[in-house]
Amino acid sequence: MLRKVTAKTLPEWLDHLLENETDETRIASVRHAHPEWIVRALRQSLVMHGRPASEITELLEADNAAPVVNLVALPGIGNLDEALESGATPGELVIDSALSSGGDLGRMSSIREGTTRVQDVGSQLVARAVAGVDLGQSAKDGEKWLDLCAGPGGKAALLAALAHQEGATLLANEPAEHRAKLVSQALSAVPADAWTVRVGDGRDVGKEQPETFDRVLVDVPCSGLGALRRRPESRWRRTPKDLADLGPLQRELLNSAIDAVKPGGVVAYVTCSPHPAETTAVVSDVLRKRDDLEQIDSGAALDAVSLSGNLAPGTG
């Protein structure tokens, strides 16, 4: 049996398996090892974001590629000297970032101390965009920032460091106590007067602390369809029902974030899923039911903190 299996390469076996198949979704599903519903969802997401549906092949191939390891030096606290000396290369999209050359990152004292962290470029850009939006004030000193869904603490650590630089403070909220401990650990390299960790349901923050925060990040629980490269097994665990189940929670958290922000402040709704049901649909639903909001161009906010200054277009 094994001799028969090895008689052909994987591409040859796939060609044989699909030789009579005409459905494009089925072909992409088998050839790139993605459930059909995810192929359809990602294709829909491309179209919704103004991209050609033909890019689905590149997107599925990217999901199956080995993930890269990006580093960030907490601004004002850490630096990338040790990482660069170890072979890392400077990041091309965001300041204070680097692309790791691999190996045991734990050998670097800056990693062990938490002043340099492993963090995807997308997460770095999001945190910097939240901190960088112009609120029409001359200074950020005294501002209050909120990370509503902070666990395990990666974005919160970068936000806290940025807040410390600006004389602001960060409240990092996490409902699960064990994850809240991870948040505290992630923030430990930042001076303690710049941050506080709250253990509680993010849906309650807006009621308990209305109109309190200048900047709010709400990185909601989601299907994770945009992070399949790092968690490839999740594609086989998730189902369309997960999207339906998560929708009400995502809307409640976004509404809580809006209730918690001051008039004139900014709320960033973030997911690691490109699916319209978790992104544009949630934001549109909330906007339709409230009259106290103004939607800003998220693409412009991200471009403003990107070294390239030319990321994918979008409003949200």
- Is the separation of the CB atoms in 43 and 275 below 8 Å? no
- Whole-number Cα distances in Å, 211 to 5, 118, 153, 207: 64, 33, 24, 9
CA pair distance 47, 50, nearest whole angstrom = 5
Residue 129 parent element (H or E): helix 121-132
Half-sphere exposure of 163 (CA within 13 A, CB side): 32
| 272 has catalytic annotation | yes
Chain-centroid distance of CA 131 in Å reads 15
Selecting among 93, 156, 171, 272, the annotated active-site residue is 272
CA pair distance 144, 126, nearest whole angstrom = 17
Reduced to 3 states (helix: H, G, I; strand: E, B; else coil), residue 96 is coil
Residue 44 structure tokens? 């829909």
Amino acid identity at 6: T
Catalytic positions, written as ranges? 272
